[in-house]
Amino acid sequence: MSKPNRRKIRTFALLLCIITFTTFLFSYTLRDPSVYFFKYASRLSDSFFAKGPCACRQCVTELEDDPWFAERFNQSIHPLMTRENSVLSDETFKWWQWLQSERHPANFSGVVEELFRVIPDEVLYMDASPERCRTCAVVGNSGNLMGSKYGSLIDSSDFIIRMNQAPTAGFEEDVGTRTTHHVMYPESAKDLDINTSLVLIPFKTLDLQWIISALTTGTIKHTYVPVMSQIKANKDKVMIYSPTFFKYVYESWLEGHGRYPSTGFLTLLLAIHICDKVNVFGFGADQYGNWHHYWEDNTLSGAFRHTGVHDGDYEYNVTLLLADKHKIQMFKGR
Ligand SMILES: *[C@@H]1O[C@H](CO)[C@@H](O)[C@H](O)[C@H]1NC(C)=O
Ligand SMILES: *[C@@H]1O[C@H](CO)[C@@H](O)[C@H](O)[C@H]1NC(C)=O
Ligand SMILES: *[C@@H]1O[C@H](CO)[C@@H](O)[C@H](O)[C@H]1NC(C)=O
Ligand SMILES: *[C@@H]1O[C@H](CO)[C@@H](O)[C@H](O)[C@H]1NC(C)=O
């Protein structure tokens, strides 16, 4: 084929693309002139290319494309506790009680009953459908966020999930301003604003008693360390990480590595189960290989390698694998 001919074909193909696209755009606009096409261009292109179980371009839960993921992912296990799913198998209860070796636990089912008199008993976020495209930002606490300027990207997500002490004030440019969900346990708790959901990870029956107390009478002041006796948080937006899901994360995703999963890893799996698209920020070490919090000055406090009871390397490997398989997108900062 001679060169001018090939160019002609290329031009023709390009023309065809343009015509198809403008026809699509035009007919879409005519059908619903109120659509703010350009504002939602990315959403629209997401649904235009949709072929799977959600309305995003690619959905976390497309199972057929990856056997490694399909083998581990189990959608029927709900990440958040309800009265109904709070009944634990003996095996799960034993495992969960062993996490922090609680000596004299209170009556679990009694505590759960009291808990759901204080916080709502709802099935949340299990509304996956071909029409839903829920984007989530999971924001870890790594120093690699410093100077990253991810703030506006993070803020543009539907859900923004932070954990433990994570502050935003003073770090907005790098970590954003909004928080829809804040994951914590009693020993890492902090006050939240009225629009943020508190997601409690319980490690023992006392942790469930603590959240009841912290939202009401404030009588529990100590677990294995002193804890906040009262917490500012919207009672109607408190959620409990399910012990059954906790065990599933440990067994299915970590294959029993470490004593139990870290808050970061538990939060990541929560997001994978309730979101259609997961962007991950602030995980892993910084550019110098140091592990520290973005709000702590590395040069003053000294970098630490905080793995402790967690197998940080194994968790990070699984996280990278999830990224390789396009289940999550990692933003590695600097
Ligand atoms: C998913 O979890 C449910 C509930 O624990 C269990 O019955 C089912 O066998 C699991 N499915 C797979 C594919 O592992
Ligand atoms: C625990 O609490 C439940 C519900 O309040 C109650 O039915 C049960 O008898 C209690 N079990 C024990 C051992 O006290
Ligand atoms: C909470 O959300 C409401 C409604 O969107 C808004 O008016 C209010 O300013 C928010 N409050 C805070 C503390 O962000
Ligand atoms: C992580 O993955 C690397 C490369 O795939 C492997 O060499 C290493 O042993 C893995 N580490 C753990 C803790 O599994």
Confidence of residue 4 (pLDDT cuts 50, 70, 90): very low
Q: Is the CB of 89 under 6 A from ligand 1?
A: no
Tell how far the Cα of 154 is from the centroid of ligand 3, in angstroms: 18
Q: Give pLDDT tens digits for 169-209.
A: 999 999 999 999 999 999 999 999 999 999 999 999 999 99
> If you take atom 2 of ligand 4, which residue's CA is the nearest one?
317
The pTM (predicted TM-score) of the whole model is: 0.85
| Torsion over CA: 107, 109, 111, 113 (sign) | negative
Q: Give pLDDT tens digits for 221-268.
A: 999 999 999 999 999 999 999 999 999 999 999 999 999 999 999 999
Angstrom distance (rounded) from CA 257 to CA 251: 8
Q: Is the CB of 87 under 6 A from ligand 2?
A: no
Residue ranges of the domains in the chain? 56-331
Tell how far the Cα of 295 is from the centroid of ligand 4, in angstroms: 29
* Domain 56-331: top CATH class: alpha beta
Q: How far is CA 185 from CA 11, 139, 210, 229, in A?
A: 60, 17, 10, 13
20: pLDDT strictly greater than 80? no
Tell how far the Cα of 148 is from the centroid of ligand 3, in angstroms: 27
Residue 270 burial (CB count, 10 A)? 27
Tell how far the Cα of 255 is from the centroid of ligand 4, in angstroms: 14
Is 100 annotated to bind a ligand? Reply is: yes
326 is catalytic: no
Angstrom distance (rounded) from CA 137 to CA 142: 14
260 is catalytic: yes
Q: Give pLDDT tens digits for 259-286.
A: 999 999 999 999 999 999 999 999 987 7
Ligand 1 atom at minimum distance from 244 CA? 5
Q: Out of 181, 182, 273, 310, which one is annotated catalytic?
A: 310
Q: Considering the chain, what percentage of its residues have pLDDT values greater than 70?
A: 81
User: Could you say which ligand is closest to the alpha carbon of residue 319?
Assistant: 4
User: Which of 68, 73, 75, 76 most suits a substitution to test ligand 1, by most atoms within 8 Å of the C-beta?
Assistant: 76
Q: Is the CB of 77 under 6 A from ligand 1?
A: yes
Q: Give pLDDT tens digits for 119-146.
A: 999 999 999 999 999 999 999 999 999 9
Write down the pLDDT at residue 291.
73
Across the chain, the runs of DSSP E, i.e. the strands, are 135-139, 159-163, 181-184, 197-200, 238-240, 277-281, 328-331
Is 164 annotated to bind a ligand? Reply is: yes
Angle, alpha carbons 150-311-254 (nearest 5°): 90
